[in-house]
A and B are shown apart, each in its own frame.
Chain A
């Protein structure tokens, strides 16, 4: 067994594009859930809004990429406002059901063959972000340390991605420590108290939903640009649950929690994958029980188990230290 490979492959995943995108989306989720107490389990819908908003305006209407990206962000803002209307007046369990339903409605709609001309149906929209790579300042070649290597194309997306993550952390930090952020936290801790102090709780919730949703849209844009493709299969409800694993791993309501959590999540996911593949080398004892094609499923079952155990035994996240109290 090659544990070095397990470690380096995991590390490679921890700094790669999916981890960056998750970090962005989970920062948004942290604003929703960690700071405002909104249990949004349809975050993947915002990723879809971002990616399809940009993809459609670029491929169908031929908008230049920067404008298309803006369209993606606007789509997420609209989704946040639209969703806020019914969802935010409801109790937590209803909010959960409405957000997951909305994300599923989006996926079913873009996947439909009846709107194939717009969204590409099940095939999705391809090659709409090529101009992103035309402005790549990094000379072509491979860069890296040891076996952790990336080509110029990946490195360019990662560079932009990490800058975005840094900006998102900074802006979130500024917002959360502002009076606006204090109101959010007071809504989380005691909604009625916030209301009795004359705060318009509903308006603050909508703003929180929209801001976190925009971060989700940026994550969706990053993933779509990285693949240069947008397909409905990437927007299944289960991916929001991955984000919750990352959020809880890093620590709910902590500024850097989402970033650390996403990196840890992808490290673990990739490392388990490599480990399982090594375990089932022909002839080994594990090969009699596990087949190659089962690994993906087994990994997901483990994600589920991890989610349960984390919430039950370490709700404060893997790094310890009590997160800001949620009084409910």
Chain B
């Protein structure tokens, strides 16, 4: 029994290593000609006096007329672009990607024409935003106005759908196997990383994102199946207790996450086709076409998911298994097969969530880890193990975190979601859609 497990683990480890090498190979060769031993970068932080940290602004670095790197600022307004080596670069900001109500202090100065980068030292550049320094206590946030409410609602909806997609797998895996999978965030990252790899023209084949995303989702689903067969099912067969399983998943999460950084580095990289987009203005609403795409795909997939769950035998089997595993098994459902399918579907959906999130905010090695707690919050909020809970929970988390930025600084976005989760557990421990169960 034990040696069997060892054999399976060794096989699994080899699969992972081979997969990782396959990912590594193109990049390693791409780097051979790279003369810079230590990388240098141009970086900065966008902070608006009224708005706080500015997220999602597109910045480009050019050498002569050639673009050498682009980045979009993260939730704390920070951005960083690795440059090929010391030299004089041009740094350009796309003012149309600044959020509503934020503008450059000098609207003409969208480009810094001569940024000198020295050997081995990162260079900080500043784009001044808003009006000239007007002293203001840091904790005062502008009261909500019509436009901002509409736009935050819109962003919250898009982010909520993405979180919902990413959460389904976690909830279904828990429902069918009782495993709380802390490595679920890494499935989200894997989806984004693979899609980036296949769509990148420099280290990958340069496919369009639709194809790259589909391949990435398929591969992630396969990885989910391998995980189930090689790691989790043998452990469950040994009757490993719940907490040990959680610790194993924490270990797996760390293994995957830090392996990703070794190969991907710590830069934010946008998908080639979605690097910068001019926003559309519809009345009070300012939206980006890519948000519309993400929302459309998300809603379509969720509709399909609901249809499968309600109308097919497989869906009935999944719902029955997550409701009561023993009862399902004794009524003739092949539970092992259901679990395997749940792993494939859940990992694929997580990968889709990762691709969607990365389309909006760029690919990074730890996007899944940063989304993990919001995902947990969504799943617990909706009811751990339920099929539709993650959808309700995901939307709630997306809306709460985005709307909270109307009143409190954006840094607290996810803190609010987590706080709400703790409060909800006090009042309704079984989640919004869960069934009450006596515990202690």
Binding site for B on A (CB under 8 A): 33, 39, 41, 85-86, 89-94, 96-98, 100-102, 104-105, 108-109, 111-117, 191-192, 195, 201-202, 238, 241, 244, 248, 289-290, 292-294, 297-298, 300-301, 303-309, 311-313, 315, 326, 328
Majority DSSP secondary structure for residues of B touching A: helix
- Pick from A94, A100, A108, A292: contact of B411, CB below 8 A: A108
B258 touches A304 (CB 8 A): yes
Cβ contact within 8 Å between A315 and B422: no
Is B235 an interface residue, CB under 8 A from the partner? Answer: yes
Tell me whether B440 and A304 are in contact (CB under 8 A): no
Total A-B pairs, Cβ < 8 A: 148
Residues B139 and A114 in contact, CB atoms below 8 Å apart: yes
Check B255 for interface membership: any CB of A closer than 8 A. Answer: yes
**Which of the candidate stretches B55-63, B340-348, B376-384 sits at the interface with the other chain?**
B376-384
A102 to B373, CA, bound (A): 11
Residues of chain A within 8 A of B409, CB atoms compared:
112-114
Which of B150-158, B236-244, B321-329 lies at the binding interface? B236-244
Separation of A97 and B246 alpha carbons in the complex (Å) = 11
| Chain B interface size range | 35 or more
- Which of B251, B262, B373 has a CB less than 8 Å from the CB of A297? B262
Q: A residues within 8 A CB of B439?
A: 89-91
Interface status of B68 (Cβ within 8 A of chain A): no
Which A residues touch B377, using CB under 8 A? 97, 101
B5 touches A301 (CB 8 A): no
Given A93-B242, A101-B376, A312-B9, is A301 in contact with B258 using a C-beta cutoff of 8 Å? Answer: yes
Interface residue stretch chosen among B273-281, B353-361, B413-421: B413-421
Q: Are A315 and B254 in contact (CB-based, < 8 A)? A: no
Cross-interface CB contact of A191 among B243, B262, B373, B440, cutoff 8 Å: B440
Q: Could you say which of A39, A93, A115, A241 has the most chain B C-beta atoms within 10 Å of its C-beta?
A: A93
How far is A276 from B411 in the complex, measured between Cα atoms in Å? 37
CB <8 Å contact, A85 and B426: yes
Query: 8 tightest CB-CB pairs across the interface, nearest first?
Result: A304-B254, A307-B251, A308-B251, A304-B255, A301-B258, A101-B418, A300-B258, A108-B415
A258 CA / B164 CA spacing, docked (Å): 39
- Evaluate contact between B422 and A308: CB separation under 8 angstroms: no
> In terms of DSSP, what is the predominant structure of the interface of chain A?
helix
Per the bound structure, the CA–CA distance linking A248 and B246 in Å amounts to 14
- Docked complex Cα distance between A92 and B174 (Å): 13
Instruction: Pick the most buried of A86, A89, A117, A309: most chain B CB atoms within 10 A of its CB.
Output: A86
Contacts of A101 in B (CB 8 A): 373, 376-377, 418-419, 421-422
Confirm or deny: B250 has a beta carbon within 8 angstroms of a beta carbon on chain A. Answer: yes
Interface residues of B in 1-44 (CB under 8 A from A): 5-6, 9, 28, 38-39
Q: How far is the CB of A208 from chain B (nearest CB, A)?
A: 15
Residue B202 CB within 8 A of the other chain: no
Per the bound structure, the CA–CA distance linking A123 and B186 in Å amounts to 29
A289 nearest in chain B by CB position: B28
Query: How near does chain B come to A112, taking the closest CB pair, in angstroms?
Result: 5
State which of A96, A102, A105, A303 has its C-beta within 8 Å of the C-beta of B254: A303
Q: Verify A305–B251 contact, CB threshold 8 A.
A: yes
Contact of A97 among B5, B6, B242, B421 (CB under 8 A): B421
A interface footprint on B397-427 (CB within 8 Å = 1, 0 otherwise): 0000000000011011011001101110110
Asked whether B334 is an interface residue with its Cβ less than 8 Å from the other chain, the reply is no
Out of B5, B248, B425, which one reaches A308, CB within 8 Å? B248
CA distance A13 to B261 in the complex (A): 26
| Neighbouring B residues of A116 by C-beta, 8 Å | 138
Residue among A91, A92, A102, A328 making CB contact with B422, cutoff 8 Å: A102
Give the distance to chain B from A35, nearest Cβ to Cβ, in Å.
Answer: 14
B293 part of interface (Cβ distance < 8 Å): no
Given the complex, which residues of B lie within 8 Å of A33, measured CB to CB?
243
Q: Which residues of B contact A308 (CB under 8 A)?
A: 248, 251-252, 255
User: Which of B38, B235, B248, B255 has the most C-beta atoms of chain A within 10 angstroms of its own C-beta?
Assistant: B255
Which residues in A have their C-beta under 8 angstroms from that of B418?
Answer: 101-102, 104-105
Evaluate contact between B429 and A89: CB separation under 8 angstroms: yes
B419–A105 touching, CB < 8 Å? yes
Residue on A nearest B380 in the bound complex, by CB:
A97
A93-B180, A105-B415, A303-B254 known; A244-B373 Cβ under 8 A: no
Does B247 sit within 8 A of A, measured CB to CB? yes
CB-based nearest B residue for A195? B440
Q: Which residues of B contact A93 (CB under 8 A)?
A: 174, 180, 242, 246, 384
* Complex: A102 Cα to B423 Cα, angstroms: 11
B426: chain A residues within 8 A (beta carbon)? 85-86
Contact pick for B251, options A105, A108, A304, CB 8 Å: A304
> In the complex, A238 Cα to B372 Cα: how many Å?
13
- CB of A241 within 8 A of CB of B254, answer yes
Indicate if the CB atoms of B380 and A311 lie closer than 8 Å.
Answer: no
A91 nearest in chain B by CB position: B439
A97 to B252, CA, bound (A): 17
Closest Cβ–Cβ distance, residue B107 to chain A (whole Å):
26
| Selected contact of A39 from candidates B138, B246, B252, B429, CB within 8 Å | B246
Q: A101-B422, A102-B422, A312-B240 are in contact. List 9 more A-B contacts (CB 8 A).
A: A39-B246, A94-B380, A97-B376, A97-B421, A112-B412, A192-B440, A241-B250, A297-B258, A303-B254
A285 to B122, CA, bound (A): 30
- Known A86-B426, A311-B244; judge A108-B250 contact (CB<8 A): no
A161 to B411 alpha-carbon distance, docked (Å): 35
Contact indicator B422/A98 (Cβ below 8 Å): yes
Residue on B nearest A326 in the bound complex, by CB: B241
Taken together as a complex, chains A and B put the C-alpha atoms of A202 and B440 apart, in Å, by 9
Q: Which residues of B contact A293 (CB under 8 A)?
A: 38-39
Q: Are A328 and B252 in contact (CB under 8 A)?
A: no
Closest Cβ neighbor of A201 among chain B residues: B440
Known: A104-B415, A300-B258, A311-B251. Is A92-B243 also a contact (CB below 8 A)?
A: yes
Q: Which residue of A lies closest to B415 (CB)?
A: A108
User: B411 — which chain A residues lie within 8 A by C-beta?
Assistant: 108, 111-114
Contacts of B414 in A (CB 8 A): 104, 108
- Report the separation of the CA atoms of residues A195 and B180 in the bound assembly, to the nearest whole angstrom: 27
Report whether A304 and B253 are in contact in the complex, using a CB–CB cutoff of 8 Å: yes
| B254 A312 Cβ-Cβ under 8 A | no
Inter-chain CA distance A102–B5, complex, in Å, is 36
Q: Is B96 an interface residue (CB 8 A)?
A: no
Interface pair A307/B415, CB less than 8 Å apart: no
Within the complex, which residue of B240, B247, B252 is in contact with A248, where a contact is CB–CB below 8 Å? Answer: B247
Question: Hey, which chain B residues are within 8 Å of A313, CB to CB?
Answer: 6
A301 near B254 with CB under 8 A, answer yes
Q: Which B-chain residue is minimally distant from A312 (CB atoms)? A: B248
B254 touching A300 by the CB < 8 A rule?
yes
